[in-house]
Structure 1
Amino acid sequence: MLGVLTDAARPLTPGDVRALLLASIPLSYSTVVTILTRMHGKGLTARYRDGRAFRYSPLTDRASMAARRMGALLNDADDHASVLRRFVDSLNPGDEDLLRRLLKDHPPG
């Protein structure tokens, strides 16, 4: 759902989001409202009053969300070394090189 908001040129109502998702994910209007409300509560979206409805826009991008999910999954694991090792083993060669450069340039902390 964040992707729909990120791709939009303007803040969207729950009805707008549902219409854009309907072809791939048939969700009820109330489900879309619930998800958008939760996303707003987590600080992922801004919410603007528009008459009786709200419009939502993203406060983060796809890369930040992916990084947040990766961090949450790592934090849920007991053995971080095993998870990271398997992650690195699954990378494409170009991504592995990029990760090495990013780690080299990133100060510890």
Structure 2
Amino acid sequence: MPHEEGRRPAGALEAEVLRVLVAAAEPLTPRDVLARLSAPLSYSTVVTILTRMYDKSMVARYKDGRSFRYAPLTDESSVAAERMSAALGAGTDRATVLRRFVAGLRPGDEDLLRRLLTDDQG
């Protein structure tokens, strides 16, 4: 699906905020997160993203004076796996969805997937 010029793909900001939180040694304030992001965002945008992530149980929120600190409850791989599972569940023909997913894999990913499935069996 094409994106408008300058517009990020869905979930891209959440993924970047999550990367910042996972890399931190302690819970961060929204201002701390803003300072560590590569994307030029406003403070209110960061607060909105963190609030949405809290509502989705992606982060924990701790009261710190008049503000909050946030810590990750998940990682980027888990979020991607959940999105893949949701996309699979949205289709009516799971076999066709999986077949088209596998057909779109990068070189080497199909072999990796096969190894992962074999390892889980044994």
**Length-normalised TM-score, structure 1:** 0.81
Alpha-carbon distance in 2 for matches of 1:9, 1:95? 32
Task: Note the C-alpha offset of 1:12.
Answer: 0.9
Segments of 5+ residues of structure 2 without an aligned counterpart are 1-16
82-91 or 44-53, which deviates more: 82-91
Equivalences, count: 105
Task: Note the C-alpha offset of 1:31.
Answer: 1.9
Task: Note the C-alpha offset of 1:75.
Answer: 2.2
In structure 2, the partner of 1:30 is: 44
In structure 2, the partner of 1:15 is: 31
SS of the residue corresponding to residue 67 of structure 1 reads: helix
The CA RMSD over aligned residues, in Å, is 1.8
Instruction: Look up the equivalent residue of 2:24 and give its one-letter code.
Output: A
Instruction: Look up the equivalent residue of 2:80 and give its one-letter code.
Output: A
In structure 1, the partner of 2:7 is: none
Task: Note the C-alpha offset of 1:94.
Answer: 2.5
Alpha-carbon distance in 2 for matches of 1:16, 1:83? 40
In structure 2, the partner of 1:72 is: 86
Task: Note the C-alpha offset of 1:39.
Answer: 1.0
Task: Note the C-alpha offset of 1:27.
Answer: 2.2
Instruction: Look up the equivalent residue of 1:63 and give its one-letter code.
Output: S
Deviations 1:2-34 (A, max 9, x none): 11111222211111112222x42x222222112
Question: How many percent of aligned residue pairs carry the same amino acid?
Answer: 66
SS of the residue corresponding to residue 49 of structure 1 reads: strand
Task: Note the C-alpha offset of 1:64.
Answer: 0.6
In structure 2, the partner of 1:48 is: 62
Alpha-carbon distance in 1 for matches of 2:94, 2:48? 33
Task: Note the C-alpha offset of 1:79.
Answer: 3.3
- Listed as ranges, the matches of 1:81-100 within 5 Å are 81-100=95-114
